[in-house]
Every structure is written in structure tokens, then in C-alpha cells.
Amino acid sequence: AGGSLEQCQRNAGAVSQVNKNNFEKLVERGGRQARIERRTAKTMPLHSSLGNKSKTLSQKKK
């Protein structure tokens, strides 16, 4: 029975480490996603402005 308990403890330790690693990756991805969302929010007004200017120029050429 002692060997079985030791095996369970090793398995629990391994699972705990995997969970810790997964959580760290999740936090890292969340940070990257937040940065991407901020950059997107900053560029959207520029994108809209460029689209309007392009449309205006296209209409002037006609």
C-alpha cells in the first residue's frame, strides 16, 4: 500500500505542476490579448479615417 500512496503523491505533484504551467501560460496570453486589443482600439479611428479619405478620393476621380 505504501508504494501506491507514493505513486499517487508523485502523480498529484505532476498534475499540480502541469496546472501551474497552464495557468502561467493563460495569464501570459491574457496580457498579450490585452495589448492587441489596445493596439486595435488605437488603430480603428485611423482605419476609419483612411477609408473615408479613400472613398472621397475615389469619388473625386469620377
Degrees to nearest 5, angle at CA 39 with 41 and 46: 60
Average pLDDT over residues 36-62: 78
pLDDT digits (tens, 9 = 90+) for 1-23: 568 999 999 999 999 999 999 99
The whole domain housing 10 covers 1-62
Quick one: CA dihedral 46, 48, 49, 51, positive or negative?
Answer: positive
Q: Which of 5-9, 41-45, 51-55 has the highest mean pLDDT?
A: 5-9
Whether pTM exceeds 0.85: no
Q: How many domains does the chain have?
A: 1
